[in-house]
Structure 1
Amino acid sequence: MKSVVVSGAGGGWDLQDRDVPVVGPNDVLVRVRACAICGTDLWLSDGVLVFREFPIVPGHEAAGEVVAVGEGVTDRAVGDRVGVVMAQKMCGVCDYCREEHPISFVGAANCAAPTLTGVTVDGAHAEYVAVDAGGTVILPDAVSYEDAAPILCAGYTVWAGLRRAEPRPGARVAVSGVGGLGHLAIQYAKAAGFHVVAMTHSPDKKDLALQLGADDVVSDGASLKAAGGADVLLHTNSSHGAVTDAMTGLRPWGKVVLMGIGTDDLVLPALALTSNSHQVIGSAHNTVEHLVEALDLVARGLVTPMIETFPKERAEEAHARAAAGEVRFKAVITY
C-alpha cells in the first residue's frame, strides 16, 4: 500500500510503499478514502509533540470502509462506512482505567498506555489502517468521506466543547478564531439555535464568518462587550494570549471553553474571574455520542466543512500548505 511517512522531526510527508497492516483480534481493517490534516499532525511531524520515535505515519481524521474484521469483532462488518478517531482504546488495567471512564481525550491524557491513532501507533494517512473496532464510528450515508474526515477530530472537538458548556436556550456564543476549528464552531453553534459572535482580527474573514452563520463579527473583547457580550466563549485558535482579551466581553457566570492547543502560557484575570463567577473549561473529545451528533448535523446539511482536497501523490504539498496556514480551512488527502 501507499502510506505517508515522516522520517524525522521537521521532515516532509513522503509517500512510500509499506505492507498492508495485519488485522489483530478486535481490529478492523479500513480502506482509507480520505484523511484530513489536523494541527496535532503538524506538531507531531515537527517534533513539538513526541510520543514515539520516527519514522511515523500521521493521521487520525480518516474515513473509509471496513474490508476485513478480526477475531471477536461483532459490531462492525465488511462494507461498513466508518470514521477513524484518535482514541482507539485504553489499556484497561491502569489505575485510571480501573475507574471505568468512557473513552475520551481525558483517557488519552491519563491512561498509562493508550492506543492513539497516528500518535502512539501508525496513523491513517495511508491506503489502509488497522484499528480497534472501538476506535471507529459508523458514518451517515449522506456524508461523503471527504466531508466526514474533518468532523472526526475538528468537528468532534468543537461540538463536544459546546455541549460541555451546556449553554441555556437563548445564550450568546462567541467563537474566538475563524480557522479549522472556528469555522465549524460557528456553524455548530448556529445550528444549535444560539446567537453567534465570531471573533477575528482578519478583515478578510468578516464576510466569511457572516456567511457561515455568525450574527455579529468583532475583533476583540471590548467590541464583544459592546455587541452584547457572550455567555460562552469557544476558544479555537492556538494563541492563549487572546483568551484574556476575549474575556473582557464575557458576561457574568460566563464560561470559557479551551479547545485550541497553544504553546504560550494562559494568564487569567483573577479579579474578573472571581467577581463574575466565570468558569474556564478544558475540552477536546468527550464521549462518542457527541461525535455521532456532530456527524448527524453534517448529514442534515446544517454544517458543511470547508475543505481543500489533495490526491495522495500531493501529500507533501497538502502538508506544506496546511503548515503555512494557506488552506481554508481543512486539508483533506484522498487515498
Structure 2
Amino acid sequence: MPTMKAAVVGEVNAPWVLQDVPMPEARSHQVLVKIHACGVCYTDALLAQGVLSLRPFPMVLGHEGVGEVVAVGEGVTSRVVGDRVGLPITQRPCGRCAFCRERHPDSFVTANNCVAPVLTGVNVDGGQAEYIAVDAEGTVLLPDGLSYESAAPTVCAGYTVWAALRRADAKPGARVAVLGIGGVGHLGIQFAKAAGYHVIAMTRSPDKHELARRLGADDVVSDGAGLKAAGGADVLLHTAPTHGPAVDALKGLRPWGKLVLMGISAEATFPLPALAVTSHAFEIVGSAHNGPEYLAEALRMVARGQVTPMIEIFPKERVGEAYERLLTGRLRFRAVVTY
C-alpha cells in the first residue's frame, strides 16, 4: 500500500510527529488533493489537548489545507485535475437530518447542528499531510495568483473574521473595533480597513501599537475606557482568546452597537453586564463562517493584496515546532506548514 507523510497526534497532549501513514484514494464524489500548505489553528490545539473530543486518537489535524487536485473519483463533475483548492472545515453535511432538510448553506452552524457532518481535520483526518481525499463539494477554488501560503490561513482565520464583519452588517462609515491583535485580529484590522470602516485596534500589548497602525488601524487603545475616549465603536469584533477584555470593551460600545463573537474559546461562558446590554440596546451576535460565499470573498481580497496574512512558514519536517510555537504564544501570527 502506498504511504505518505502526515503529522500524527498519538494521544492527548502528545507532540505532533511526522510519520508514514497509508495514502488515501479518491472514492466516489471525492477528489484527491496534494497538499501544498496547511495552517495551524488554535482549534487544532483544543482538539490535540482533548478540550474538544470528537473522535479517538491517533489523528491527523488541519482544517486550513490548500493544494492541487491530482485525481477525481467517480461522479465528480465540479472539479478537475489541476484545480487549486482550499479545504474549509465543513466538508459535507449528512443531507438527511431535520437540519439538513431545511437546506442551509454549509457553515460551522451546519457543523454544530447536522447530526452527522464530515468535518475536515476534526472528525476525519485533515490537511496536515501530503495528501487528503475529500468530498469534492467540500472544496473551494482558489483565485489565480493567490499563493498557497497566504491562502491557507484565509481558509479559516480569514474566513472567520470576514464572515463576522459581514454578519455585523455595519453601515458605511461605521466605527469597527478589533479586540486582540493575534492570528485572527491582525486579519480583522485589514479586512475592516479594506471594507472602508474607521478601525480601532484594541490591545494591551504596547509593542503591538505600531504594528496595528501599519495594518490599517486609525486608532489604537488598550481597554474599554480608551475605546470610549476615542469615540467608541459601532461594532466590536471579539478575537481575543479570553472573554474578560471583551466584557471590559463594552464600556466603549456605542448605543445600538454590536458585539460579534467568533471562533472557539476554552472559556465556556461569556459574562454579560445585563444593565449595559439592556440600557444601550446592544446586540450580541454569534458568527460561525456563515456560508461559503464569504470564504470566496475573503480569498479574493487576499488575492488582490487588500489583506496580507502575517505568517511563519515551516517545512513539514518542523511541524512539531510549529505546533509548539502556537502553544507558547510565540507566533506572529499564523503558522503555515508546507508539504
TM-score when normalising by structure 1: 0.99
Does residue 294 of structure 1 match 2:298?
yes
Deviation digits for residues 68-115 of structure 1 (CA, Å, limit 9, x no counterpart) = 011111110000011111000000111111111110110100110000
Cα offset for 1:266? 0.8
Cα shift readout 1:142-164 (whole Å, capped 9, x = no counterpart)? 11000000000000000000000
Q: Deviations over 1:115-146 (max 9, x none)?
A: 00010100110000011111111111111000
Q: Structure 1 regions of 5+ residues with no counterpart?
A: none
Q: Distance in 1 between matches of 2:182 and 2:119?
A: 24
Alpha carbons 1:237, 1:261 under 8 Å: kept: no
Is 2:316 aligned against 1:333? no
Contact 2:160/2:263 (CA < 8 Å) preserved in 1? no
How much is the aligned-residue C-alpha RMSD, in angstroms?
0.7
C-alpha separation in 2, matches of 1:135 and 1:180: 24
Structure 2 gaps of 5+ residues are none
Partner of residue 79 from structure 2, selected from 62, 76, 81: 76
The alpha carbon displacement at 1:261 in A equals: 2.2
Q: Which residue of 2 aligns with 1:146?
A: 149
Counterpart in the other structure of 1:120: 123
| Aligned counterpart for 1:315 among listed residues 310, 316, 319 | 319
Q: Give the letter aligned to residue 208 of structure 1.
A: L
2:282 to 244, 254, 278: 278
Counterpart Cα distance in 2 of 1:263 and 1:320: 18
Matched, 1:41 2:34: no
User: Residue type of the partner of 2:322?
Assistant: A
CA distance in 2, matches of 1:145, 1:318: 17
Percent of residue pairs identical: 64
Contact persistence 2:165–2:192 (CA under 8 A): yes
What count of residue pairs does the alignment treat as equivalent?
335
Once the 2 structures are TM-superposed, how far is the Cα of residue 284 of structure 1 from its aligned partner? 2.1
CA contact (8 A) 1:238 1:260 kept: no
Bigger mean CA offset, 272-281 vs 146-155: 272-281
One-letter code aligned to 1:199: M
Equivalent residues in 2 for 1:218-257, closer than 5 Å:
218-257=221-260
Instruction: Output the TM-score relative to the length of structure 2.
Output: 0.98
For residues 259 and 248 of structure 1, the distance between their equivalents in structure 2, rounded to whole angstroms, comes to: 20
